[in-house]
Amino acid sequence: MKIVIKLFLMLALVFSSVGFANEHSTLDKAPIDLKDQASLQRGAKTFINYCLNCHSANYMRYNRLKDIGLSDNLIKENLLFTAEKVGEPMKIAMTKKDAKAWFGATPPDLSVEVRARGSDWVYSYLRGYYRDSSTPSGWNNTVFEKTAMPHILWKLQGDQKLNEELHTLEIVKPGTLSAKEYDAFVGDLVNYLTFMSEPSKLKRLDMGYYVLLFLGLLLVLTVKLKKEFWKDIK
């Protein structure tokens, strides 16, 4: 009984902490479509060019990019920057010790980040940066307050400021992309991160339909077999 009570208290603490962290932020819906291969390919390109410098994806191998329509040659020529073979995982050269010294915290591995936090959280986080001179990096975030990660996409999005009364963000210096273009850019990235967190999800779902169809047919046959056995007894 004591163990059950402890587990309940631990879960209550976790959920109360999550609620407190997000009490002032509203998560936006991420445009996730795992069947949109063009979006996934653009997101993979963005991830490797912008994120893979500091964040590893040790549970993702380059050859899984073939699941989104890329060939081995395309992967080798355009995306294979941190490995020599397409069968290798997406590792980075930066060590945890160096990362902590440079950023104050070790950048998390992004293999399953979406499964841990949710696609809406990641999508809102990447769009929630604003200038804050009180932080070491000069940036803050409406979703993750006092985040140690600087805004690596600021040249694309531009500079935002926070209206503390309304708790809204306003562009004060435009980036190279419009607000709509930046949202689409981040949407493709989060779409890919969602795919990366569970690359076999679509295959698993498709297989599930066949399994349900098989079980449905089996149920019909089972019912007919039962009736056939019991008709003589009755």
Instruction: Report pLDDT digits (tens) over 155-196.
Output: 999 999 999 888 899 999 999 999 999 999 999 999 999 999
3-class secondary structure, 143: coil
Which tens digits make up the pLDDT trace of 6-60?
444 444 444 443 433 444 568 999 999 999 999 999 999 999 999 998 899 999 9
Please state, in angstroms and rounded to a whole number, the distance separating the CA atoms of residues 23 and 15: 12
**How many residues appear in the chain?**
234
% of the chain beyond a pLDDT of 70: 89
Q: Tell me the backbone φ, ψ of residue 128, rounded to 5 degrees.
A: -105, 15
Say what the alpha-carbon torsion angle 170, 175, 177, 178 is, to the nearest 10 degrees.
Answer: 30
- What is the average per-residue pLDDT within 103-130? 93
pLDDT at 3: 52
pLDDT at 208: 79
> Which of 68-72, 81-85, 130-134 has the weakest average pLDDT?
81-85
Within 8 A by CB and 6+ apart from 23, the residues are none
Q: Which residues of 179-208 are buried (b: 16+ CB within 10 A; e: fewer)?
A: eeebbebbbbbbbbbbbbbebeeeeeeeee
Instruction: Give the chain's radius of gyration (CA, Å).
Output: 23
